[in-house]
Amino acid sequence: MRYASGVLVWNVGELHPLETAIEGSPAVTIETTHQINRTGERFVELSEFSGDMATLERLLAAESSVHDFAVTPETGLVYLEYEQSSSMTQLFAILKAYSLILALPVEYTDEYGKRGVRLTVVGTESAISRITADLPSEIGLYPERVGEYVPERGHLEELLTDRQRDVFETAVRLGYYEVPREATHEEIAAEVDRASATVSEQLQRIEANLLPRCLEAEFGHI
């Protein structure tokens, strides 16, 4: 069983149907989709957003394609039910056509100069080879890794997105967790090319994800 990881960008149209709802507000960004299902003519998903959660709630409430949502301000996790879009429908049609499994989570990234999704698909070697060659021109592909698929279990790094790992590793390297503290949010932000407020928020979420599990692993309970 093989896997392929890479970044897809839509050269035509929006990447995520909700990006049109939040693109006018730099205070809100979609970071990761942890779960997604198609139910009839709609999608339901559990995604993680960063930024001002009150602004996000207001934008989602005003978006006609959104049928239902629930925001958890403390974690940035959002349950969404929304109408299908051409980009999402096209992505799932490709997965179905090549009998590929989408290995979640899906991460949103600007790494290749345009908003894209970093994802991993699992399937046969022939299917993965064909999808690489047969993607339509409106979808750009930036391959990153290909190999034998072995699911990882129980690793702490699985709790973090690539962007969160980048922030966390930079914070450790700069001495943010030393006593006394040797780095500030501003210094970390300069290293990872993000806003200081974003780094502060991501570090809080990283700590909220990792610390309870470290305690549970060490003591058997929280």
Q: What pLDDT, on the 0 to 100 scale, is given for residue 128?
A: 86
Domains of the chain and any CATH numbers = 2-148 (no CATH), 156-219 (1.10.10)
Please tell me whether the peptide bond between 151 and the residue prior to it is cis, using omega within 30 degrees of 0. no
CA–CA separation, 170 and 175 (whole Å): 9
Q: Where are the beta strands (DSSP E) in the chain?
A: 2-10, 28-39, 42-51, 66-72, 77-83, 101-109, 116-123, 139-148
Structure confidence at residue 158 (pLDDT): 62
What was the pLDDT predicted at 18?
74
pTM: 0.69
Query: Residue 201: its pLDDT value, please?
Result: 87
pLDDT at 71: 94
pLDDT in tens, the chain (222 residues): 888 999 988 776 666 667 767 766 778 888 899 999 888 889 999 999 988 899 999 999 988 889 999 999 888 899 999 988 777 787 888 888 889 999 988 998 888 888 788 999 999 988 888 877 777 777 888 999 888 887 665 555 566 777 888 899 999 999 999 888 999 999 999 999 888 888 998 898 888 877 776 666 555 554
Instruction: Check residue 70 and give its pLDDT.
Output: 96
How many Cα atoms sit within 13 Å of 58 on the Cβ side?
A: 9
